Amino acid sequence: MDNKHITSYTSLIAEYTFIAYFFVISFFPFSADILKLLCLLTVIGCWTAKMLSEKKVLFMKTELTVPIFSFLLCSLAASFHSVRIQYSLGTIFHDYLTYFIIFFCMVNTIQSQEQIKRIVTAMLITCGLVCTYGLYGYYTGIAIRDERLVATFEYHSRIAKYISLVLPIAVCLFFYYKKRVSRLCVTVLIFLCSFSLILTMNRTSWVAILVTTFFICFAAQKRYLIFLLIGMCTLCIFILPSRFITQVKTVAQVNKFFTSEEILGERLLCWKASIAIVKDHPVLGIGPGKRNFRDVYQQYAEKIRNTEKQQKNETVGQSQETKVKRKARIKNIERLSHPHNVFLHLLVESGILGLLTFLWLFAMVFYTAIRSWRLSRSEYEKALLMGIAASLISIFLHGFTDSFWKKPDALFLWHIIGILFVVIHHASNCEQTNNCYNKEV
């Protein structure tokens, strides 16, 4: 077998492995660790086999190479500054390295335009299956938590972020497909994702999808989508139960965001404590890892809560029931593992250096996505790149009230970023051949 066939086979195996990996982390986000490790080792093996067959080091340099290694260096420095050095290093090895291995393996093993299309199609189908199971679980009661759809993710916020990443890509590809069957399938997927997203009752996701829809409307010059969105929202007001409408109304209560715990809940105390932690550990933070934050946060949260109680001059005759409720609420706060804000998350764990390299990394991702979308001459690439750009906007909007820099959220994100740079690399090659996705689908 010659080197050309070996390269072709390794690329094909890597493609199927990425598809399998996305499926596994979608249906088993908090389990099946052996399967996940097997998938990861397989794509690493494909990359290694490709290098051995071509007898050279294959490492494609991208706009993210320097920011990624800079971020890793800052994270390592923060780990050695941590109280739990070994635990923080374990977080980098098991989490951060996994994200970047997915990225580098994808850009160095996936080669053809057909592979890109198959991977994206498989991702959309997988998301549709997850949402279908989520709807089934919601109405049968086997996958529901606090009257919210959770599907395979245990928490409504996780499935909401997952859908928010994939849904914009499906919407943008709808404009590319010309055949009725293809459009019908994508329409069904969009409906499943949208309805599932509503049932999560996740306000951040609703706002994120609303913003990304406006972005797609103007980017794709499909202004009628705005009227379609308004019509769908109006219809939802009449057909959805009152608790959904109440949840929507809280989004508009901007004046109560930072004064009422009914809207942001525990996040207010969480953000105050996180800012206090950053003030005490500004440069390198407390070190990566959920355990580090949970322990330190407990101390700061109790101190802030006690200070607030004194300022409010609580009466001595407070009922015992109220005391129990407050005590239970404090215990819940103590179990938080991140600051519910991705920027505070990076500041607390890695300090200002970690946050700056993180912002540099994703600024390059955004810049590359927007630039490539504007310069692309291929219809499929243009639609896909627009969808990826919208997905990135959506996930960063989530970052204001939650953190996506943890498993499994970051795994899905780096799959999409990997696809972004595979498309960009393929587009640069297609400029010479002038044969990129011109076939009607």
For the stretch 367-420, pLDDT in tens is: 999 999 988 888 899 999 999 999 999 999 999 999 999 999 999 999 999 999
Cβ distance 99 to 410 under 8 Å?
Answer: yes
What percentage of the chain has pLDDT greater than the value 70?
Answer: 84
263 has pLDDT over 70: no
- What is the DSSP-derived secondary structure letter of residue 337? -
CA distances in angstroms from 104 to 323, 410, 415, listed in the order given: 53, 15, 10
Mean pLDDT for the chain overall: 86
Cβ distance 188 to 239 under 8 Å?
Answer: no
What percentage of the chain has pLDDT greater than the value 90?
Answer: 59
> What DSSP string describes 234-284?
HHHHHHS-HHHHHHHHHHT-GGGTTT-HHHHTTHHHHHHHHHHHHHHSTTT
CA distance 218 to 223: 7
What are the domain boundaries of the chain? 66-254+353-433
The pLDDT assigned to 245 comes to 64
For the stretch 269-287, pLDDT in tens is: 889 999 999 999 999 999 9
> What DSSP string describes 304-327?
HHHHHHHHTT--TT--HHHHHHHH
Kindly report the number of other CB atoms within 10 A of residue 227's CB atom.
10
Model-level pTM? 0.90
Could you check whether the bond before residue 408 is cis, i.e. omega within 30 degrees of 0?
A: yes
Chain mean position to CA 206: 15
For the stretch 178-211, pLDDT in tens is: 899 999 999 999 999 999 999 999 989 999 999 9
324 has pLDDT over 70: no
The pLDDT assigned to 118 comes to 96
For the stretch 33-78, pLDDT in tens is: 999 999 999 999 999 999 988 888 888 889 999 999 999 999 999 9
Query: Coil, strand, or helix at residue 152?
Result: coil
H/E segment holding residue 148: strand 148-149
> What DSSP string describes 91-141?
HIIIIIHHHHHHHHHHHHH---HHHHHHHHHHHHHHHHHHHHHHHHHHHHT
